[in-house]
Amino acid sequence: MVLSSEASYIALKIQAETFVVAERREDAATTYEKIGMWKEAGELRRKIRSQVVTQVHVNMNDLIDQLRQMGLSATYACPSCRSPITVNGSTSPDKLAKCQFCGTVFSSTDLMEAITRVVGHH
C-alpha cells in the first residue's frame, strides 16, 4: 500500500504543479493541501489575494492600449439596463467600474471578455 499512496502523492503533486503553470492557483492550493504541502498552498493563497485587484486593473489597461493601437472600439451592454457602454483607446478604466446610466457595478471579467472578443477578431 505504501507504493500506491506514494504514486498518488506524486500524481497529485504533478497535478498541483500543472495547475500552477495554468495559473489555476486556487485549484493548485487545494491539491497541495490534499498531499499536506501546506506551505505551498498558503503561498498560493497569498498570491491570489495580492494579485486579484492589481492584475484586473493592469489587464484592463492593456486591453484599452490594444484598442488604442488598433483604433477599435468595443461595446459592452450593461447587464442591468442594457445601455451600450463604448470602450475605446481613450476610455479611462475608472469609468468602467459601473454603469453611468443606472449605476450597476460591472464585472471586470465580463467587460474584459467583451473587449477581448473585439481585439481577438482583428
Q: At its nearest, how many Å lie between Zn ion and the CB of residue 101?
A: 5
CB atoms within 10 A of CB 122: 9
Q: At its nearest, how many Å lie between Zn ion and the CB of residue 13?
A: 47
91 closest CA partner among 104, 105, 74:
74
Q: Which residue has the cell 449605476?
A: 103
Q: Which is nearer to Zn ion, 38 or 101 (CB)?
A: 101
Q: At its nearest, how many Å lie between Zn ion and the CB of residue 99?
A: 3
C-alpha cell at 29: 492550493
Q: Which residue has the cell 492593456?
A: 62
61 closest CA partner among 99, 94, 85:
94
Q: Which is nearer to Zn ion, 15 or 80 (CB)?
A: 80
Q: Which is nearer to Zn ion, 36 or 103 (CB)?
A: 103
Site of interaction with Zn ion (CB under 5 A): 78, 80-81, 83, 99, 101-102, 104
